[in-house]
Amino acid sequence: MEQFQHYIDGCFEPGSARFESTDPATGAVWAEMPEARAPDVNRAVEAAARALKAPAWRALTATARGKLLMRLADLVERDARRLALLETRDTGKIIRETSAQIAYVADYYRYYAGLADKIEGASLPIDKPDMEVTLRREPLGVVAAVVPWNSQLFLSAVKLGPALAAGCTVVLKASEEGPAPLLAFAELVHEAGFPPGVVNVITGFGADCGAVLTTHPKVARVAFTGGPETARQIVRNSAENLAVTSLELGGKSPFIVFADADLDSAANAQVAGIFAATGQSCTAGSRLLVQASVADEFACRLREKAEAIRIGAPDEMETEVGPLCTLRQREKIQAVVDASVGQGARLLTGGVIPEGPGRYYPPTILDCRKAPKAPVICQELFGPVLALQTFETEAEALELANGTDYAFAAGVFTTNLTRAHRMMRDLDAGIVWVNTYRAVSPIAPFGGSGLSGHGREGGLAAALEYTKVKTVWMRLSDDPIPDPFVMR
């Protein structure tokens, strides 16, 4: 078995305990991982707190921090193939997706490398003639970055990049489900030359690791990606240390197709929006809302495309849908699909667990026109399952689209420009894609509201969220300050 280690204070360590990781494609144990418990977590946070104040990091210019991030980007690009293979092996995400995504991750580090010396303060036009007031942006402090197993190198880059650009130090907690690529990524942090303690990478389970990390008194910010239930616990934990929280959570994102849309283009985007990454994406377009006059035609196109998808081993480039990461996911998905069919949803394709090893689940489409309350419509499944509903009018489409407690992403397909503008204005979503879906860039922030969380990642906005503002008052007059207790 392959062996992985934690990275704490510039050193690689085996952890207080060890646990086994299984290959989702075969169910076989393939690696042994370190398990962080309270002593490991405390040492990681203490190391980050020391590094925050140590001259090796604190005295670095912003430009020098940028150069370290640029070096890290180069190393990620160099080792992208190895990192992609590890992510595929440990999570089941297909190699064609991990390869493309990790290659792009390097661009996120390059973006924040260039941004490091452009996080500026300000001079205020204060209303007192003998005073000068400036604002300084300084590092917020120690950051606990908690990421899930899906897209973990990307989701860590949108936290680690802006945090380091701003001058913070970080304890990065990889999910216990598939932590291999982030533990390997720590080797690149070390090689890039970051001072000890600036970046620490650990993994472990809830009470012994996650809770200790997010309640630690020296943690100033918790940046979390995951599900609403864990997020609620993190918010409760933050009451202990009053840490700032940013929460990038799940979604039931609407994918809205009007009758005037290019249906071929919309169908291809919908297939990518729900079946790419085996549906294991926070922005998955899992609710198809299609105008009634083209619903049957569009459903037929989708069914043909879904049934043509190649399901197979995730390490083969020809594979288009691989296994789910955990058996728990698959059991939940099947239960919700069965319950939805029981309430009147019609199965158009998929919906049956295939025989054989691995945690596979087929691309599945449910026609919910006769089951408006089916659980598949409102529950995030994190799998390749699409719920189809129809609408007659633009107002009805908006009502359906905004009819959940999630507000992460939305897609709109129409050739009517004024309608597109009305929809993007009125949709409750942190991201609206018009005539496209799942486009990302390091320049563009993303995030949601409601059950989809709060805060933004990506872009300049993210870097500013890792800073705190210090107001500096300087008196310009050479005259002595008068005695405040002498009446004049």
Contact assessment for residue 268 and residue 261, using Cβ atoms and an 8 Å cutoff:
no
CA neighbours within 13 Å on the CB side: how many for 139? 29
32-44 as b/e: b if 16+ CB within 10 A: bbbbbbbebbebb
Dihedral angle over CA of 149, 154, 159, 160, nearest 10: 100
Distance CA(4)–CA(11), nearest Å, equals 13
- What number of other Cβ atoms are within 10 A of residue 373's Cβ? 11
Q: What is the 3-state secondary structure (H, E, C) of 291-338?
A: EHHHHHHHHHHHHHHHHCCCECCCCCCCCCECCCCCHHHHHHHHHHHH
Contact 384, 361 (CB under 8 A): yes
How far are the Cα atoms of 15, 82, 160, 177 from residue 12, in angstroms, in the given order?
Answer: 9, 19, 19, 20
Q: What is the DSSP string of 380-399?
A: ---SSEEEEEEESSHHHHHH
| Summary count for the chain: helices (H), strands (E) | 16, 23
Q: Are 243 and 221 in contact (CB under 8 A)?
A: yes
Indicate if 35 belongs to the active site.
no
Reported in sequence order, the residue ranges of 355-477 that DSSP labels E, i.e. its strands, are 364-367, 385-391, 406-407, 409-413, 431-434, 449-450, 453-454, 467-475
Provide the token pair at 238. 């933050």
Q: Which of 248, 320, 380, 457 is catalytic?
A: 248
Backbone torsions φ then ψ of 44, nearest 5 degrees: -65, -45
Catalytic residues: 248
